[in-house]
């Protein structure tokens, strides 16, 4: 069976598009298998499309690959967002009754219509969009083929957005004068959520015209383009369009013209880029009109002529034709008349036209006609003759360039006449002078010869009558054409090169003898000659002067001076080497050698040498002077100037001067005399810093999530604009003595953030900006509650020495700037429960932080945990953002801490193994975040801190042996005590032994005495008594003594 037969039953259901689509869908495998080319395809303009309410929209649709007639029909429908499956018919090219009732009236009134571009392509037009027109549009083409094959409809989305474009300019009436400037400002704003571009055009509506003239426009691609009528003025910079801020557009016209009169307004248009990358205008707004009235400038003028009425024959003559009282923008052409006949004409463009005889004279350089400026014309005759005598006048015409590029005469004005006559030549007086009539050998001798009278071509010759002679010798001469001839006035090969004859002006001639010799003494005679035009006779005038050249015999005296023996670091100091001779008026070619003895050195080194012929020779041992030393020198004075003084320039300076003869400029002869100056000690000291900052305090109250900046203003600084290092500090409390360093910009502009501001979030929030040499800003983005506090800056002046090391001169601190957050209306309360816990070392501790009261479903919360010890700066431990991102203050504590959210408004911080140093105060700050705008941006609304939570960490229990080992004192006691006890026991034993020995000795002595006493009794025979005594022996020795 043929595959086409499968879809034959579709013809019996013609008119049911839904059923037809199902059949095409189920049979699509067969169709695509047999027919992949030439099938019907409907294409609609790609969406989504965004158009503004109240403005038109056009949607294109075309069909290709169809069979049957070339004229295809189109049916347009819409699927509203409220009923996305229900088709609402709008309009059809086939059936006039196709429209549903909701669209029938708009179709009938042509508010909605279809424009056929070709037989298979149409445009759906809605002239005035309504918000209810938003939806999914479908373009359907009824089948005209033998079989159903391909697509018969296509859809696109249309979104109707509000019209937010606004263009405003106050309506006013301005009265201006011609050539005055004009500035008008137009405010254009939009609040469209989609990405759109704004274009703006200024227009002029002249009186009686229906079409506005475009002045200048800023396109949607941000390109400036003038209107055709203002292109030339725009190129000249007379018409400008400037964007001031985000919404203001200023039109500037530098010089108004009468054609600018009329009604001015600006038109703003909003453009959006469709998915097919074409730009479409969606909104348009015009401002109120400003009436501009221009008072034209006065255009009347007068013509004056000036000239020298009686020039001498052969002298130049110049006539000036001047226009006065004219308008600033008029153009003129001038005509010169002699005895009422035109001799020359120059138009407004500078094109010159001369009569035949004057054209020849101009080609020979004898006549010149020019336009000095737009209001002045010149006629110059370089050599007046009898043919130039007569009455001169000039005629000036105001002209205007026509469309054919020709000049149209508006009005003519003629000057008064002036009479030109020739004046007879008068006798001239000649004066000869010398700068010095008595000069020293080797000095320059200068003689001036000046002729009086009217200007004219002159020739001159100089003659010398040597002393004790009467015959003049030719020295030098100059012809009228400037040709110079030199004579020989003294023997030697340099006689010619030693003289120079110059023409200072038409009447002054200068003779210079560069290095005078004794043989140049005598009487000099100047002869001035003049030959008149067309005359063979030559007139001559003379004058004399006596000159003495003295022999050179002198010696040099050199003195070194300085007004700054104590120089501040980086400043400039001068040393002057002054040359004096026995004869104060003597000037010799001299070479100067500057020498320097550094501090602590015993020898002088050559710093720089300036030879008598101007050569500069630097020393090899003091290279640091080359880039900072300037030497200026005259005949009797040499000045050494050292910039950017450093400590290395401290030492003793001196100069040596060598004098040469004038002839040594051309030869390498030896110095005739030399002298060394007195030494001068220069001491370089550190400068006194004049650094001063603005110390005033201020308070800024800002809304949350806003941005601001803090100024660090330098009121004064040390000379030399030393580099500054700027450091910004922050303290949350005004009484805190310790400030946190935010960031520092050192003297080399390297930025370093403080330890507490090393996180990417802090680096993004805080950044410094250098506005000028004396103004620095700290920019703070997205203000939060944590940013409240006091800020100040510190400035340090640094000095870079020549050895490359930096030295700090001064440090100053600015006043405090307090930042406060303005309440947003949103408030949260963090639980203020007092918490105190004792934990044993190495245990796990959990800290809780939560909100009191219900949370807002539109809010998310972030928490920041802090820790501090007594009299210590607080540290940020962890920051759990509203989106779940976790940051740690110190990366090393990541394993010891665990921060998580137990519920949307409850947070827990766990310390896995607490150490003794973890004891201290803990607290949290909870911030509320809400989404604003579309697309939404999360903004900080409010924040609150918890009560301080005290954690005490107790040492863990230990064994007896560990306690002993842990106590150094007890361990020492256990080691020393047994040793002491042994010493005491040994001493006791020694003592007992000594006592026992002593008792033994006493007992032996008593026994001996007792034995002696018994023997004596026995001798006396008193046995009884002796017995008694023996019985009484226990009573002691007194009885024995008594018996004795």
Local confidence band at 447 (pLDDT 50, 70, 90 cut-offs)? very high
Mean predicted confidence (pLDDT) in 273-285: 94
CA-wise closest residue to 203 among 262, 162, 158, 152: 262
Q: Is residue 106 pLDDT above 70, yes or no?
A: yes
Average pLDDT taken over every residue of the chain: 82
Residue 803's pLDDT band (cuts 50, 70, 90): low
Kindly indicate the confidence band of residue 948, based on its pLDDT and cuts at 50, 70 and 90. Answer: confident
The three state secondary structure string of 381-425 is ECCCCHHHCEEEEEEEEEEEECCCCCEEEEEEEECCCEEECCECC
Q: Mean of the pLDDT values across residues 699-720?
A: 86
User: CA-to-CA distance for 809 and 720, rounded, in angstroms?
Assistant: 13
pLDDT at 11: 36
Residue 795: pLDDT band with limits 50, 70, 90: very high
* Structure token pair of residue 97: 């009754």
List the beta bridge partners of residue 907: 849, 901
**Residue 773 is encoded by which pair of tokens?**
């040499």
DSSP one-letter string for 846-913:
EEEEEBSSPPPTTEEEEEEEEEE-TTS--EEEEEE-TTS-EEESSGGGTTTEEEEEEETTEEEEEESS
Mean pLDDT across the stretch 71-99? 93
239: β partners: 253
Question: Is pLDDT of 490 > 90?
Answer: no
State the pLDDT at residue 539: 80
Percent of the chain with pLDDT over 90: 36
| Tokens 């809780």 sit on residue | 848
pLDDT at 1010: 63
The number of beta carbons lying within 10 Å of the beta carbon of residue 525 is: 18
Q: What is the pLDDT of residue 649?
A: 85
Helix (H, G, I), strand (E, B) or coil at 128: coil
Supply φ then ψ for residue 314, to 5 degrees: 85, -5
Q: What is the pLDDT of residues 884-922, one digit of tens each?
A: 888 888 777 777 888 999 888 899 999 988 988 889 999
Contacts of 98 (CB under 8 A, 6+ apart): 75, 89, 91, 92
pLDDT band at 718 (very low <50, low <70, confident <90, very high): confident
Q: Which residue has the higher pLDDT, 499 or 113?
A: 113
At residue 238's C-alpha, the angle toward residues 237 and 244, to 5°, is 80
Q: How far apart are the first and last CA of the chain?
A: 176
Most confident stretch, 257-266, 453-462, 713-722: 257-266
Find the helix or strand (DSSP H, E) in which 495 lies. Answer: none
Write the DSSP symbol of residue 11.
G
pLDDT tens digits, 324-340: 876 556 788 999 999 98
Residue 36 pLDDT level (bands cut at 50, 70, 90): very low
Q: What are the residues facing 407 on neighbouring strands? A: 401
Range scoring the smallest mean pLDDT among 282-286, 403-407, 478-482, 524-528: 403-407
Question: What is the predicted pLDDT for the residue at 591?
Answer: 87
Cβ atoms 828, 928 nearer than 8 A:
yes
Question: How far, CA to CA in Å, does 942 sit from each of 452, 789, 848?
Answer: 96, 16, 20
Asked if residue 943 lies in contact with residue 925, where contact means CB atoms within 8 angstroms, the answer is: yes
- The pLDDT of residue 588: 67
- The answer to whether residues 577 and 560 touch, using CB atoms and an 8 Å cutoff, is yes
**Residue 286's pLDDT is what?**
95
DSSP 909-962: EEESS--GGG-EEEEEEEEEEEEETTTTEEEEEEEEE---EEEEEEPPP--HHH
Q: Return the higher-pLDDT residue of 289 and 422.
A: 289
Q: Which residue has the higher pLDDT, 787 or 767?
A: 767
Q: Which residue has the tokens 């918000």?
A: 131
Q: Name the range with the highest mean pLDDT among 273-277, 304-308, 925-929.
A: 273-277
How many alpha carbons lie under 13 Å from residue 583 in its C-beta half-sphere?
14
DSSP 851: B
Give the integer Cα–Cα distance in Å for 676 and 530: 56
3-state SS assignment for residue 39: coil
Q: Say which residue, 976 or 664, is predicted with more confidence.
A: 976
Q: Select from 821, 920, 818 the least CA-distant residue to 865.
A: 920
Closest CA to 54 of 194, 189, 165: 165
Beta-ladder partners of 631: 640
Strands 522-531 and 459-466: antiparallel
How far apart (Å, rounded) are the C-alpha atoms in residues 143 and 147? 8
Nearest to 527 by CA among 535, 516, 539, 537: 539
C-alpha to C-alpha distance for 534 and 530, rounded to whole angstroms: 12
373: DSSP letter: E
CA-CA distance, 907 to 901, in Å (whole number)? 4
Q: What is the mean pLDDT of residues 55-68?
A: 92
- Burial of residue 47 (CB within 10 Å: 0-12, 13-18, 19+) is middle
pLDDT at 753 over 90: yes
Q: What is the pLDDT of residues 826-844, one digit of tens each?
A: 678 888 887 888 888 888 9
Could you please report the per-residue DSSP string of 890-902?
A: SGGGTTTEEEEEE
Distance CA 193, CA 171 (A): 30
Would you tell me how many other CB atoms lie within 10 Å of the CB of residue 85? 5
Q: Answer yes or no: are the C-beta atoms of 739 and 798 closer than 8 Å.
A: no
The alpha carbon of 501 is separated from its chain's Cα centroid by a whole number of angstroms, namely: 57
Residue among 945, 954, 794 nearest 876 (CA):
945
Higher pLDDT, 513 or 1013: 513
Specify the pTM.
0.35
Other beta carbons within 10 angstroms of residue 510's beta carbon come to: 14
CB 809 within 8 A of CB 687: yes
**Tokens representing 177?**
């004068």
In angstroms, the CA 726 to CA 702 distance is 25
């Amino acid at each position: 069976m043929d595959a086409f037969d499968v879809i034959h039953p579709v013809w019996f259901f013609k008119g049911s598009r839904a059923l037809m689509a199902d059949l095409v869908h189920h049979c699509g495998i067969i169709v695509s298998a047999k027919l992949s080319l030439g099938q019907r395809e409907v294409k609609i303009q790609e969406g989504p499309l965004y158009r503004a309410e109240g403005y038109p929209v056009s949607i294109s649709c075309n069909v290709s690959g169809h069979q049957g007639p070339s004229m295809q029909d189109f049916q347009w429908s819409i699927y509203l967002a409220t009923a996305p499956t229900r088709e609402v018919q709008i309009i059809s090219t086939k059936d006039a009754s196709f429209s549903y009732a909701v669209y029938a009236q708009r179709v009938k009134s042509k508010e909605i219509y279809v424009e056929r571009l070709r037989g298979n392509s149409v445009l759906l037009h809605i002239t005035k969009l309504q918000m209810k027109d938003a939806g999914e549009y479908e373009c359907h083409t009824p089948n005209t083929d033998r079989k159903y094959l391909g697509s018969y409809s296509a859809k696109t989305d249309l979104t109707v957005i509000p019209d937010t474009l606004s263009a405003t300019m106050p309506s006013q009436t301005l009265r201006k004068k011609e050539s005055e400037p004009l500035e008008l400002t137009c405010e254009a704003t939009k609040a469209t959520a989609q990405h759109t571009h704004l274009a703006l055009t200024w227009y002029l509506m002249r009186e009686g015209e229906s079409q506005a003239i475009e002045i200048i426009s800023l396109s949607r691609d941000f390109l400036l383009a003038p209107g055709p009528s203002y292109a030339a003025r725009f190129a000249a910079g007379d018409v400008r369009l400037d964007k001031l801020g985000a919404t203001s557009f200023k039109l500037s016209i530098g010089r108004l013209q009468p054609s600018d009169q009329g009604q001015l307004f600006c038109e703003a248009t909003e453009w959006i880029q469709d998915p097919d990358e074409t730009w479409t205008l969606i909104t348009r707004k015009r401002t109120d009109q400003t009436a501009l009235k221009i008072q034209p400038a006065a255009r009347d003028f007068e013509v004056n002529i000036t000239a020298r009425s009686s020039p001498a024959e052969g002298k130049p003559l110049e006539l000036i034709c001047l226009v006065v009282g004219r308008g600033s923008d008029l153009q003129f052409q001038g005509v010169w008349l002699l005895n009422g006949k035109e001799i020359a004409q120059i138009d407004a463009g500078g094109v010159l036209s001369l009569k035949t005889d004057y054209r020849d004279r101009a080609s020979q350089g004898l006549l010149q006609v020019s336009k000095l400026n737009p209001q002045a014309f010149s006629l110059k005759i370089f050599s007046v003759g009898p043919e130039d005598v007569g009455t001169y006048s000039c005629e000036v015409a105001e002209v205007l360039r026509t469309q054919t590029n020709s000049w149209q005469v508006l009005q003519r004005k003629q000057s008064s006449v002036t009479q030109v006559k020739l004046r007879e030549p008068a006798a001239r007086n000649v004066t000869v002078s010398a700068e010095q009539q008595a000069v020293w050998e080797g000095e320059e001798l200068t003689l001036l010869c000046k002729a009086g009278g009217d200007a004219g071509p002159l020739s001159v010759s100089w003659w010398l009558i040597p002393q004790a002679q009467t015959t003049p010798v030719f020295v030098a001469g100059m012809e009228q054409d400037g040709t110079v001839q030199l004579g020989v006035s003294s023997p030697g090969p340099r006689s010619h090169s030693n003289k120079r004859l110059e023409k200072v002006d038409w009447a002054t001639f200068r003779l210079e003898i560069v290095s005078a010799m004794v043989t140049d003494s005598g009487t000099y005679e100047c002869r001035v000659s003049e030959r008149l035009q067309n005359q063979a006779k030559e007139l001559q005038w003379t004058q004399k002067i006596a000159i003495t050249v003295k022999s050179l015999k002198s010696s040099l005296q050199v003195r070194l001076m300085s007004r700054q023996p104590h120089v501040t670091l980086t400043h400039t100091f001068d040393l002057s080497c002054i040359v004096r001779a026995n004869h104060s008026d003597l000037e010799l070619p001299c070479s100067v050698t500057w020498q320097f003895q550094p501090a602590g050195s015993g020898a002088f080194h050559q710093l720089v040498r300036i030879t008598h012929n101007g050569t500069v020779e630097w020393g090899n041992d003091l290279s640091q002077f080359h880039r900072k030393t300037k030497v200026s020198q005259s005949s009797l004075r040499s000045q050494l100037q050292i910039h950017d003084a450093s400590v290395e320039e401290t030492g003793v300076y001196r100069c040596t001067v060598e004098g040469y003869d004038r002839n040594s400029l051309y030869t390498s002869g030896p110095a005739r005399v030399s002298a060394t100056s007195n030494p001068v000690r220069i001491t370089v000291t550190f400068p006194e810093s004049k650094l001063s900052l603005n110390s005033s305090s201020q308070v800024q109250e800002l809304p949350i999530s806003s941005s601001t900046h803090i100024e660090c203003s330098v009121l004064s600084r040390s000379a030399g604009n030393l580099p500054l290092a700027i450091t910004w500090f922050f303290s949350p409390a005004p009484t805190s003595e310790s400030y946190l360093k935010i960031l520092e910009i050192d003297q080399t502009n390297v930025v370093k953030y403080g330890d507490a501001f090393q996180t990417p979030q802090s680096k993004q929030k805080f950044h410094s900006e250098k506005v000028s040499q004396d103004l620095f800003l700290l920019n703070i983005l997205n203000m939060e509650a944590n940013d409240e506090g006091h800020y100040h800056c510190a400035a340090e002046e640094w000095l870079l020495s020549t050895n490359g090391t930096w030295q700090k001169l001064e440090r100053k601190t600015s006043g405090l700037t307090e930042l406060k957050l303005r309440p947003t209306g949103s408030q949260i309360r963090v639980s203020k429960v007092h918490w105190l816990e004792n934990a044993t070392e190495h245990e796990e501790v959990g800290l809780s932080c939560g909100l009191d009261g219900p949370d807002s479903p539109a809010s998310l919360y972030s928490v920041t945990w802090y820790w501090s010890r007594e009299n210590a700066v607080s540290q940020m431990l962890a920051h759990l953002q509203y989106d779940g991102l976790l940051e740690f203050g110190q990366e090393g504590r990541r394993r010891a801490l665990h921060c998580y959210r137990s519920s949307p408004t409850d947070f827990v911080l766990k310390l896995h193994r607490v150490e003794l140093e973890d004891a201290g105060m803990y607290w949290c700050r909870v911030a509320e975040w809400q989404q604003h705008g579309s697309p939404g941006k999360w903004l900080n609304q409010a924040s609150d801190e918890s009560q301080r939570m005290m954690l005490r960490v107790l040492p863990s229990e230990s064994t007896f042996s560990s306690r002993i080992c842990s106590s150094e004192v007890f361990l020492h006691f256990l080691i020393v005590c047994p040793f002491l006890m042994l010493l005491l026991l040994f001493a006791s034993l020694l003592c007992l032994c000594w006592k026992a020995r002593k008792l033994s000795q006493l007992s032996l002595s008593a026994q001996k005495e007792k034995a002696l006493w018994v023997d004596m009794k026995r001798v006396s025979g008193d046995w009884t008594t002796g017995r008694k005594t023996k019985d009484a022996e226990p009573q002691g020795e007194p009885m024995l003594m008594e018996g004795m």
